[in-house]
Chain A
Amino acid sequence: MDDLLAEFVAETREMLAALSGEIVAWEADPADRSRLDTIFRFVHTVKGNCGFFDFPKLEALSHAAEDALSDVRAGRRVPDRQLVDTVLAVIDRIGVMIEEIEGGQPASESNDEMLIAALKGELEDADIQLANSGSARNSFSASEQRTIRLPVELIDQVMSGVSEMVLARNDIARRLQMRGIETGIEAPFSRLSALITEVRDAITRTRMRRIEGLFATFPRLVRDLSAELGKQVFIEIESGEVELDREMIELIRDPLLHIIRNAVDHGIEAPAERRAAAKREAGILTVSARQTGNTIHIGIMDDGRGIDCDRLAQKAMDAGLITAERAAEMTRAEKIDLIFEPGLSTAHRVTSISGRGVGMDVVRSNIEKFGGSLEIESFPGEGTRFLICVPLTLSILPSLTVEARGQTFAIPRSYVEEIVSTAGGQLEFAQIGDRRYVSFRGRRLPCISLGRALGLEDTESDASLFVILRLGWGDLYALEVERIFDHQELVIKPLSPGIMQSGLFVGCTQLDDGTPVLVLDVTAIGHDAGIPRELHRPAVIGGSATVERAEHEGLRVILFRSLCGERRAIAMSAVEQVERASSTAIRNPGPDAQVVLGDQILPLLGVPGEAELPERFTVLRLSDGGEPISYAAREVIDISMLTSELKPVKGRSAIAGVALIDGETAELVDCHALFASHAPQRPQTRPLTCRLVGDDAWLRSFLGPIIEAAGYRIVDGAEPADIAFVDGPDGLRTEGDARRAIRLCDQPPGDDPDSIYRYDRSGLMAALARAGEELAA
């Protein structure tokens, strides 16, 4: 039975029970006005509630009773014996109907018409006592689950009582264990223990409610909204059997309503606009809920116009949030994320429905407050999808307990991606300025020491464990702790404002022995320790967005100033460590310079032959997984993203091109060229080799990766090559020992059938494949 109906049945039955005394009193004294009013209110309420459901018989009956009683109240009618009897019969009959409704049975046949006629005073026959009104009651018992309504405080009280029982049980268990001898109470104790667990589970379930109850209010909302806006919107609801903590349902109500209002108001177009876009006139709004483990995913999807990301970007520019340059560089996904910037709303005009000043930033922060997340995907012309993820319950949180500086803390398990340890020795670290990075599955994750983040005393310890945490937006960071204890299901209690004001904790919990343990807000700790959230927002997932991402994804780079003073950038993934060295550590300044770092001698690049070397300088230690090399820099400027187009530069070896980074030009160091030319040669199982002859930077940064991706190896210098790519006319001389040559030209094809236009990618690949086949044959 759905929740609303159950509510109706429960409420009506409650009123009936309360009414039984009143009826008897009214029967004794029909002139008693206050009794009359009570009965009138009852039939009035039942009639009103019937409007929400399809119970025509019940409605007709209660309506007639309301009319009759209203006449009595107005003094138009005297409550005679017959009327009193009829009203009593009607009330009994309502009781029977409620039982039938609860049992899911069709309304039984009865002489309702006679009752209604009697109420109207049309029936002279006074004998209207209905035989079936009393007897029917028994036949519908216990067919449906019996329900009672309880105040939430009572449930909370029971819940906290049970929590204390669990603590007391754990205490006894520990004491029993400490005795270590047979006490004879082990068996009854373990039985008691199991019972307590059972009771706790049962009481936890009482806090759960179907999310349906919340969703059931949406159709009406959408109907009213769309009528007001002159739109047609169908709502589809899929809630399945999803149950959620009742408090959580209250918490997500407002964010959901806000998103739905937005979708109807701004997302779904007016019918004419939809027709023009070859869509059905009526928009479709889908609200769905799914449970995955301990998380509930709620999706709200419309088939409207999608978010106008350019207008968002324009507004952000107008508001001074971003620069025009930045806007030009931003991907669609990044622009959509601007919706979360405080004070930006895409609507042209403020309507009564949305745009009342509550922005998506507030919606998201409200959802994040209780451990949820909100993501948006939007495709122009196709619609927008909001995905809210919330934990199943607020009160019991699966947690990981860890230790930092001798103190225990709990981390909500939903954030924990993995635990890695330095014990195996496989972890690689990079130190960039004061920030340490750890390599994890091919990504460099910033490390945050929990002890330091909390400002705890810095005791000497060999921290060796990292909890990899996944934040709401898919960002990862590594939290450094000293010990990891256990996974536990912990009951979360709210903290006092004095403790909450640091913002680093979400609550507290108690361990088995009653010790309070603080539960960390890992998002806040990440932000607090200086992990900026913008950098970490992932691109939109799935669909047509992937194409866009492939084209626009930025390259994370370290910006630095070279020894000669140029602003340069290098791919962060190539940098293993940033160190300081003194000029005395350099041997043989110039293109073949070397530097002593620790106990290693590494090739050092970026050292000009003649220039005067500073006394101390920065060394970027680079690694491609094999032998490291190093690059000299005057100083590290920043870490940034390379998102703009790379312009090739001529005549600079080992520079892939120049790009705008943070509004200034920077040369991107061509790591590939560095390693290709300086890493020691390794024994190879010889794939076919290619030589790039001609415009070095273009060939290496543009063509090189394609050729490599196709499985060829690029060679330099005197090494024999199987295939030569010859760019420009001078290649005629230098193709040298290559067994095949592919000639490139910088004009679209036409005059020279033997060369391939340098941007004709498929032509190039075909020629390469052909050459490869010929060589293999």
Chain B
Amino acid sequence: MFFSKSDKLLFYSTLPLIVGVLGILLILSYMILSQSWPSFQRFGFAVLTTSAWSPSDDPQREFYGLAAPIASSLYVSILSVLVSVPISICLTLTLIEILPKYLGAPLRYVTEVMGGLPTVIYGLWGSTTLAPFLRDQVMKPLHDYLGFIPLFSCRPLTGHSMLAASITLAVATTPYVTALLIEGYYLIPSKYKEGAYSLGATDYEAYKIMMGILKPYVIAASLLGFSRALSETTIVALTVGNSMKLSLCLFDPAYTIPSLIANQFESARLYEYALPTLFAGALILLLISLAASYAGIRLVYGWRERIHV
């Protein structure tokens, strides 16, 4: 394994680095847990099952519950995944299979540009351009004609809503999901495609077969995209409307956990239990996000090992 003394030196000097990075992760989890502890002690599980944000100078009268932000976080992120994954599948096939190279290369460049674009730009665009557009062109007609469906039952006001947030999020996370799918698509052995065509499949049928093989990877990419959407702060805080409300209606404003933290952190320092409650929210966020990325990565590795047998 080692070819010289310097190799050994390198090996052992990397050790503290890895331990250090692992240590930071553990300290981070511990800090978040310990900072949130007073909130769990005071409110118990009610902090996760009720929905309230009433700070008070008298610590006895403070009451907080994170049910609404947690539910809205999940709602908005799942919605954004439902939008971004189909687009990503189309993009993957278009870029790899359908378009000739001179058209595919520029399109790929553009998606890569969009993948790295600072999220605050998406947020500002979502709040000033996309939200009013959605309100006038999508939300109002849907509310007028299909208002009896609970999803569309509330009257859209400013356009800043869970729908606007999830669409902006979907636009921002699609390049990431697409990059994952492209990576997976190239790993599929070519025998499957050759087999499909030799049996007389049309292009579309062949793509369907390829996507069937890629299915675990698609699920993994969705999980990773979900984790990214869930932890996104800037975009959501600028587009979701920021209101403490538990609602199923897409056009209602809401708080997600990150946007609640971003909005309330400064003032939360003034109250005894507000800051611990925000840390409790961060803990929940961390747990869900880590679980989703872990599951996604496990799926990816499992699939890679199976496909190469």
Chain A complexes with chain B: no
Q: Which residues of A contact B (CB under 8 A)?
A: none
